[in-house]
Amino acid sequence: MLPAVEKRVIYLDQFAVSELYKTKAKKRRPGAPHEQFWQDCYSLGNLAYLRQQVIFPASNLHSDETIVWHSPEDLRLAHEMFSGETSFERTDAIAARQEWEFARAFLKGDTRPTMSTDVDQVILGTRNAWLPVYHISVNTNYSMFAPGLRQDKAIAEASLKQLADGWVRARPTFDDLLKHELSSYGSAMRQALREQIAKTQAAFASNDPTSVLDMRFGLISRYRELTELFARNGVPAKDAFSEVLRFLDWPGNQHQPAHRIFAYLFAALGWRISSGQRPEMDASILNDFSAISTYAPYVDAMFVDKQCASLLRQGRLRDELNFKARIFSLSNPQEFLDYLKDLGDSATGDVRVLAHELYDANA
């Protein structure tokens, strides 16, 4: 019988995953920035991982970015080997679960529900299982999705640039931006639903066989199920969807964790730009914001880029966003190394012995 373990959960952003992969595969360019940090990070992280103290689950956000990377299969396998045979549930599924809980509260007339932050509810796989000695991977080719993902990224980047230009002209305050973002849940979800329906209808009407890749059913199914929930809870069937739309505008939704954290991050970014700063932006920052807003309430730690870490240290975000995750970045590299070392050192003697025997870990 293997001893019980209690593993911490750390989210690594895609940049960190690729740097650790290049370090392990000895593919980093000699003299590239932070070379010693990434070597130490891989060594300490791998030791803590093999000693059964931590896992680094993969995310659908990683999957999308990996598909358009130049060596997707190698990078995907590298992350699988650090995941502990687990992955995060899809970010949209986690957000949908939070929305469902708030819909139940809306139907009951409550102000808002109390949300659990148990990390196991957002992980697929068994967090505290001992690592298998062998890892089996299916080398699936997802390259057919790359053109669509690149197109979505280009559209998002153009929208971000247009939005940033508007912030520069209007010079909104942080409070202006936050109020707008928090109150826009209903309008944003309705717009996303309309776009998804339009894309799906266009794909059905097209004679192009590849148009099937443009079909989107996630939000359509999500709001069909929510409509059924309302009908089961006393709302007449003919009025159920209209009541769902009314729920989307409910002020209580401002407290949905994923929506609230994203709104604060977006408002902080907008305020910096309106104040005269113009950081480099591409669509990947939206993935970063999605990762933080979705996983930060649940995981023990996150390693994110410096810009996101800086936004989270901004006064209002630091004081008003209460989430479980400790935030690390290249702005505080030694703190992350110390954190990983403490995790590895926390393994008990019997776990170290077994880890050494099973995985040749340097116990």
**pLDDT, tens digit, 9 for 90 and up, residues 151-209:** 555 566 677 788 888 888 889 999 999 999 999 999 999 998 888 888 877 777 776 65
pLDDT digits over 42-68, tens only? 999 999 999 999 999 989 887 655 444
CB 328 within 8 A of CB 301: yes
pLDDT score recorded for residue 218? 79
Pick out the chain residues at pLDDT < 50: 66-70, 138, 141-149, 212-215
Model confidence, pTM: 0.86
Q: Of 110, 83, 81, 113, nearest to 98 (Cα)?
A: 113
Structure tokens given for 41? 């990070």
C-alpha separations of 200 from 44, 160, 203, 308, 317 in Å: 46, 24, 5, 34, 38
Look at the block and give the residue holding tokens 């690149």. Answer: 150
pLDDT score recorded for residue 110? 82
pLDDT score recorded for residue 147? 47
pLDDT score recorded for residue 164? 80
d(CA 112, CA 110): 6
Q: Of 299, 349, 350, 223, nearest to 8 (Cα)?
A: 299
pLDDT score recorded for residue 285? 87
pLDDT score recorded for residue 175? 95
d(CA 277, CA 267): 14
pLDDT score recorded for residue 269? 93
pLDDT score recorded for residue 149? 45
pLDDT score recorded for residue 146? 46
